[in-house]
Amino acid sequence: MHIIKDMGWIEVITGSMFSGKSEELIRRVKRARYGKKKTLVFKPEIDNRYCVNSVVSHNGDQINAINICKAEEILQYVTESIDVVAIDEAQFLDEKIVDVCTKLANMGKRVIVAGLDTDFRGMPFGSIHTLMAISEYVDKLQAICVVCGNPASRTQRLIEGKPAKANDPVILIGATESYEARCRRCHIVPK
Ligand code: ADP
Ligand code: ZN
């Protein structure tokens, strides 16, 4: 990445689950802090995987974050003195996230936005594809396929240990569900 001076920009970190998006977002925020930059981290309320007020990576790293329900809430927190705005799990935010990131970058902020590029069906997720189009930088990370060991670009949804169908409900009461990183070949979405 080249150094940009006196100007904001958007950088997108995307890929499947377990590809290291949160890990990378945390790393970039920590490095910005070493560089004496003022940072703010946000995540949607919906993602309470581990800890309500933190972004937590599957590798155990974590960083404090502000929970938001709507994308536009971010603007209320970002004052003149903030240099870097980081947003994790952005696929769960409403489509206004595109305007919000644009506005912040135009205000001169460095905007780091992380999120899943595809859902468990392998289809584009939320506004991430739009953010990828309008950003200056995109890093598409890969996990490791738990079936064959190839690079994994997809997220496999399992219900009671079996691949979820494309039209299975998003919330399943009483059923155990889990997610795995898988490659294109091992990713299964039964009809
Ligand atoms: P993401 O935000 O993309 O879901 P995280 O940053 O939360 O990713 O987690 C990345 C970490 O997940 C890796 O550093 C590794 O410790 C762990 N991990 C678990 N399963 C896998 C896998 N199948 N491939 C790669 N990393 C994995
Ligand atoms: Zn595979």
Give the whole-number percent of the chain exceeding pLDDT 70.
Answer: 95
The three-class DSSP label of residue 116 is strand
Partner residues linked to 67 by β-bridges = 43
**pLDDT of res. 3:** 73
Decide if pLDDT at 185 tops 90: yes
Band of the pLDDT at 51, cuts 50, 70, 90? low
**CA distance linking residue 34 with residue 28, whole number of Å:** 10
Lowest mean pLDDT among 7-21, 53-67, 133-147, 163-177: 163-177
Q: Domains along the chain?
A: 9-141 (3.40.50.300)
Beta carbon of 22 within 6 Å of any ligand 1 atom: yes
Is the ipTM, as predicted for this complex, more than 0.85? yes
Concatenate the DSSP letters of all residues of 139-179 into one string. Answer: EEE-EE-TTT-SEE-EEEEEETTEEPPTTS-SS-TT--EEE
Band of the pLDDT at 173, cuts 50, 70, 90? confident
Catalytic residue among 11, 45, 72, 89: 89
Whether 177 is a known active-site residue: answer no
